[in-house]
Structures are given as C-alpha cells and as structure tokens.
C-alpha cells in the first residue's frame, strides 16, 4: 500500500522524532552523540533550515525545526543516512539503525510550540536520567546560556520582548507543570507500536496524575469513571491492557470509555 503524503505545515515548523529500529539504542557513548550533532550542523548548512529545539535520548531523538525551503524529507534522509553509515561501521553492524519512516507533526500555533519545547526538554527528567539543567544533549542549556546551533530568537519571543525577561520566563515555564496538560497528545504521537506493560503503566500514570494507578479502583464509582474517561482516546494501549494494569475487568473499561 502506498504511503500517504505528509501534509505540509502552514508555519513550516515541524516536530520530528527519529527512533532506533526495533527500539534499539542509537547512542552508546559520548562520541555517538557528538557525531549526530555534527551531522545536524552539516544538514543545517546544506539545507538552510532553522533548529528551534532538540533532545537526544538513548534510543530516539526529538527535533523542532523550521523548514523554510520545504525539504524536510531530504533533511531527515541526509541526517539518518550519514549517521547510520557511521554507526554501522563503528559497531560492525548492518541494516537499519532508524525506523524506516520518521515521525513528523505540524506545529501550527504558538501555544503548542511553547508546550512542545517544554515537553522535549523535560524528556531526560521524566526518564530519570538527569535534570534539564544538567543534561548535555538537549537545547535547554542553549536557551539559558549561549546558543550554538539553535536559533533561540523565535522561541524566546514567545516569552517576552526583552531577552533577559524572556529567558527568565522560559526557565519558569519549564520548571512548572511537569505532568503537562496535554502530555497525552505528545505521547500518543510517539506511539507507533503497542506499548509494553511498563511503558503503558507510566503513560497511564502521566494521564491520570497518579503514582499508583490501581488507586482508581478504590474511589467511588463516579470518581473512578471520571478518571477512566481520561483514557478514552489513548493510543497504543488496549482496553484489556488498561484493565489488567488498573486491576479491573475489560468490560468495565469498555463500558466507561466507549
């Protein structure tokens, strides 16, 4: 079946996710991260796009870019092919390093862009790796210190006209609301495969704002149903899996969130 053509963003701004093939790690040591950042610099120079934010995790990458020349596919192809050649040679491997097709989502409004930046920069913190201020492989430090490969102006303008004030507002915005009001939207976008029980558990905890999702079954029926309805549009998780993790029957889940 032919692939559906990607719909172009009206703003030419995109959120891109590159994932390791079969969820494999794509960064094993510091040299790998440095190599990927070098390839980003190479593609920026070649295709003249602007980089607004990035975060390199062990098995996936988040990027927000402004594709002013409408060459998104070529940009990502060049980036992934170059890094894959390096990775396979270094580790004496063959085959795909990244999933066959990158994920991209159009960024059409400023509110979404602000929250998306926070979501991306908070990835290391949510994964229990490091605080945003300490993580060396994201653009967060470039905003609060000195930018090197990203264009900070457009994002900072969303936080104020005065640069010092904008940076302070940027930092404050990133430090609050770590659960995020629309984290479900971002996480669903990333879910192209069924989640493991552990991944699903963390996802449900984020959506419900609970540390132990089985607490839901101790609430009154009305309150329980209010929580369960929040899972109505969850992708990558079946009703059977939700029921198993929460500790109830699939029939109850289906009845509440249908």
Domain boundary among 125, 142, 175: 175
Confidence of residue 192 (pLDDT cuts 50, 70, 90): very low
Model pTM?
Answer: 0.70
Residue 208 lies in a domain: yes
Whether residues 43 and 156 share a domain: the answer is yes
Place of tokens 């629309």: 182
Residues 169 and 211 in one domain: no
Regarding whether 208 and 125 lie in a shared domain, the answer is no
Residues 117 and 234 in one domain: no
Given 175, 207, 237, which residue is the final one in a domain? 175
Among 151, 170, 138, which residue's Cα sits nearest to residue 63?
138
- Tell me whether residue 220 is exposed, middle or buried, using C-beta atoms within 10 angstroms of its C-beta: 0 to 12, 13 to 18, 19 or more: exposed
**Residue 142's domain spans which residues?**
13-175
- State pLDDT tens for residues 76-95: 999 999 999 999 999 998 88
What span, in angstroms and rounded, lies between the C-alpha atoms of 174 and 107? 19
Does a structural domain hold residue 3?
A: no
188 domain-assigned = no
Any domain includes 159: yes
Instruction: Give the Cα separation of 248 and 36 in Å (integer).
Output: 45
Q: Are residues 160 and 213 in the same domain?
A: no
Q: Are both 211 and 88 inside the same structural domain? A: no
Residues 171 and 205 in one domain: no
- Convert the pLDDT of each residue in 121-140 to its tens digit: 998 988 888 999 999 999 99
Instruction: Say how many domains are in the chain.
Output: 2
Q: Do 74 and 200 have their domain in common?
A: no
Q: Are residues 34 and 94 in the same domain?
A: yes
Tell me the C-alpha distance between 240 and 201, whole Å.
Answer: 13
């Amino acid at each position: 079946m032919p692939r559906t053509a990607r719909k172009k963003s009206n703003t030419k701004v995109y959120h891109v996710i590159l994932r390791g093939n079969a969820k494999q790690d794509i960064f094993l040591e510091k040299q790998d991260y440095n190599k990927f950042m070098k390839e980003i610099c190479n593609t920026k120079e070649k295709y003249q796009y602007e980089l607004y934010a990035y975060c390199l995790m062990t098995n996936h990458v988040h990027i927000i870019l402004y594709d002013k020349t409408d060459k998104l596919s070529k940009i990502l192809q060049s980036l992934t092919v170059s890094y894959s050649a390096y990775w396979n040679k270094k580790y004496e491997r063959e085959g795909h390093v990244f999933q066959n097709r990158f994920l991209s989502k159009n960024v059409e409004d400023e509110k979404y862009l602000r929250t998306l930046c926070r979501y991306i920069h908070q990835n290391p913190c949510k994964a229990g790796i490091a605080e945003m201020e300490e993580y060396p492989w994201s653009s967060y430090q470039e905003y609060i210190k000195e930018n090197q490969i990203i264009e900070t102006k457009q994002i900072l303008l969303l936080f104020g006209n005065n640069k010092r004030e904008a940076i302070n507002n940027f930092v404050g915005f990133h430090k609050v609301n770590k659960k995020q009001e629309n984290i479900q939207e971002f996480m669903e976008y990333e879910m192209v495969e069924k989640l493991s029980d552990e991944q699903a558990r963390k996802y449900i905890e984020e959506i419900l704002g609970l540390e132990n999702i089985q607490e839901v079954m101790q609430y009154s029926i009305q309150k329980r149903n209010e929580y369960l309805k929040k899972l109505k549009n969850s992708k990558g998780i079946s009703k059977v899996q939700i029921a198993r993790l929460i500790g109830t029957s699939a029939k109850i889940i289906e009845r509440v969130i249908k």
